[in-house]
């Protein structure tokens, strides 16, 4: 991602050039030309792209010119080769033209593509193939880009086995940390630190303390609920971190918390895979992208038709994992598989979160609802004036 605006350092094109293979001529030489009155202009040179004809042309002369070549002095138009015929008379080559050519016809003017000084790519833009072409055009072999924030992941839970370990009674393999690893990379961060710790206060404390030293942003999964072994709040306390929030009125991910220490943010994410996933996308991602200097730090929000009934009301706003499809310009959002917070498989297919505001009523299929797009690289700005804040219609 660019960390400075990219402005054009010269006009593009920086000389008048031909967009086609043809003949550069003075348009005034064709005033009398017509289907029955061909004019003949003498071809004084042939130039390929990259070459120039420095002698210029006079009226009734022409230079055969290839796509991209510079227009010689004296010429003010190009006629495409397909509309002409070459004829040889008395050892000289002429181009036969049967129509009037307008001044300026088929001339790519100076600065027609990009003007010197014009900001072409604002800072905070990801370097896509079009940006790469633009950088090359201006000879920019190196450009300032944002340093990727270093992210730490600590998975807590005595039930967690490492990925390489065989299953044991009552235990499961740690999947959240690897999921977060992928989410960090997708959001533009650099995962640098990983620990798996038991539900043990000292072990958790030490891991978090070390993570804060080595990374710019620290995520823990698990240990944030009301259980007897949920040590994250106590770890924040002992570290002297300032609690920013704990518990959020949403499902899943209600146990998400955040604290600040030495200017670094510690995110306490749920141990439930889907709750952890949603907590990352809604809270960690925007923070990480802000550190990157991106303009659009939030998930892109749009509206879609709800693909399924949600008859049961919920006091909390729900974020339902869903798959989007486009049908004749209308977006449809279908919930994927079993949408429970402890379900991993729903995350494979999900490319959006349906937002169902909390309240006393359910939602019917076909209702227009807000959706947040997970795979969209562009995102949404902090204050998006283009998006209406219209509430979805409730079921009656």
Footprint (CB under 8 A) of a copy of itself, residues 233-262: none
Restricted to residues 74-103, the positions that interact with a copy of itself (CB under 8 A) are: 81-82
Cα 47 to Cα 135: distance, rounded to the nearest angstrom: 28
Q: Which of 247, 242, 206 is nearest to 226 (CA)?
A: 247
Tokens describing residue 220: 């823990």
Of 262-301, which residues contact a copy of itself (CB under 8 A)?
Answer: 271-273, 277, 300
Return the residues of window 32-71 that contact a copy of itself according to CB under 8 A: 46, 48-52, 64, 66-70
Q: Sheet holding 84-89: strands in order across?
A: 77-80, 22-25, 61-65, 39-47, 92-97, 84-89
Measured from the CB atom, the residue of 212 and 318 that comes closer to a copy of itself is 318
Residues in 337-356 that interact with a copy of itself by CB under 8 A: 338, 340-351
How many Å apart are CA 177 and CA 219, to the nearest integer? 9
Q: Which of 31, 35, 133, 249 binds a copy of itself (CB under 8 A)?
A: 133
- For a copy of itself, the closer of residues 182 and 358 by Cβ is 182
Near a copy of itself in 147-186, by CB under 8 A: 157-160, 163-167, 169-183, 186
Closer residue to a copy of itself in complex, CB, 70/212 = 70
Nearest approach, Cβ of residue 175 and a copy of itself (Å): 4
What is the C-alpha separation between 287 and 380, in angstroms, rounded? 13
Minimal distance, residue 75 CB to a copy of itself, in Å: 14
* Interaction residues for a copy of itself, span 319-338 (CB under 8 A): 325-331, 338
Which pair of structure tokens corresponds to residue 26? Answer: 């003075």
**Beta carbons within 8 Å of 197's beta carbon, 6+ residues apart:** 154, 155, 156, 203, 204, 207
Q: Count interface residues toward a copy of itself (CB under 8 A).
A: 112
How near is the Cβ of 136 to a copy of itself at its closest, in Å? Answer: 4
Q: Under a CB-based contact definition with an 8 Å cutoff, are residues 137 and 34 in contact?
A: no
Nearer to a copy of itself, 149 or 379 (CB): 379
Query: How far apart are CB 37 and a copy of itself at their closest, in Å?
Result: 26
The CA-atom distances, in angstroms, between 271 and each of 178, 183, 224 are 13, 15, 8
Beta bridge partners of 268: 220, 257
- Binding mask 183-212 toward a copy of itself (x if CB under 8 A, else -) reads x--x-----------xx-------------
- Rounded distance between C-alpha atoms, residue 294 and residue 187, angstroms: 11
Please spell the DSSP secondary structure of 325-384, one letter per residue: EEETTEEEEEE-S---TT-STHHHH--EEEEE--SS--B-TT-EEEEEESS-SS-B-SS-
Closest C-alpha among 285, 288, 314, 300 to residue 351: 300
- Binders of a copy of itself in range 111-130 (CB under 8 A): 112-114, 120-121, 125, 127-130
Q: What is the token pair recorded at 329? A: 């310009």
Residue whose CB is less far from a copy of itself, 199 or 294:
199
Map the footprint of a copy of itself across residues 355-374, applying CB under 8 A: 368
State the minimum distance, in angstroms, from the CB of residue 305 to a copy of itself. 6
CB nearer a copy of itself, residue 90 or residue 388: 388
Minimal distance, residue 320 CB to a copy of itself, in Å: 15
């Amino acid at each position: 991602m660019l960390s400075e605006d990219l402005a054009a350092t010269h006009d593009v094109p920086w000389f008048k050039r031909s967009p086609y293979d043809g003949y550069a001529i003075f348009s005034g030489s064709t005033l009398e030309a017509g289907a029955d009155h061909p004019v003949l202009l003498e071809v004084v040179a042939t130039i390929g792209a990259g070459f120039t004809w420095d002698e210029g042309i006079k009226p009734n002369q022409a230079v055969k010119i290839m796509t991209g070549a510079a227009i010689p002095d004296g010429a003010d138009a190009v006629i495409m080769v397909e509309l002409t015929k070459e004829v040889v008379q008395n050892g000289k080559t002429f181009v036969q033209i049967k129509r009037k050519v307008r001044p300026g016809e088929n001339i790519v003017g100076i600065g027609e593509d990009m003007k010197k000084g014009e900001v072409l790519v604002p800072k905070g833009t990801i370097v896509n193939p079009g940006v790469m072409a633009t950088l090359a055009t201006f000879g920019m072999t190196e450009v300032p880009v944002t340093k990727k924030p270093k992210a730490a992941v600590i998975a807590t839970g005595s039930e967690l086995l490492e990925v390489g370990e065989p299953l044991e009674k009552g235990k499961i393999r740690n999947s959240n940390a690897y999921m977060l690893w992928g989410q960090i990379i997708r959001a533009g961060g650099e995962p640098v630190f990983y620990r798996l710790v038991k539900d043990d206060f000292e072990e958790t404390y030490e891991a978090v303390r070390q993570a804060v030293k080595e990374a710019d942003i620290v995520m823990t999964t698990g240990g944030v609920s009301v259980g007897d072994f949920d040590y994250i709040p106590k770890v924040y306390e002992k570290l002297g971190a300032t609690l920013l929030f704990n518990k959020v009125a949403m499902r899943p991910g209600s146990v998400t918390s955040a604290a600040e220490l030495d200017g670094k943010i510690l995110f306490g994410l749920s141990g439930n895979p889907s709750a952890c996933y949603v907590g990352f996308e809604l809270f960690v991602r925007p923070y990480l992208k802000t550190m990157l200097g991106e303009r659009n730090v939030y998930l892109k929000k749009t509206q879609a038709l709800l693909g399924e009934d949600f008859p049961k009301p919920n006091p909390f706003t729900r974020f339902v994992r869903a798959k989007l499809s486009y049908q004749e310009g209308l977006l449809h959002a279908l919930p994927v598989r079993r949408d429970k917070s402890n379900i991993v498989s729903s995350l494979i297919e999900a490319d959006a979160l349906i937002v169902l505001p909390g309240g006393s009523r359910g939602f019917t299929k076909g209702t227009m609802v807000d959706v947040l797009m997970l795979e969209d690289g562009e995102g949404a700005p902090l204050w998006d004036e283009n998006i209406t804040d219209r509430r979805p219609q409730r079921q009656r």
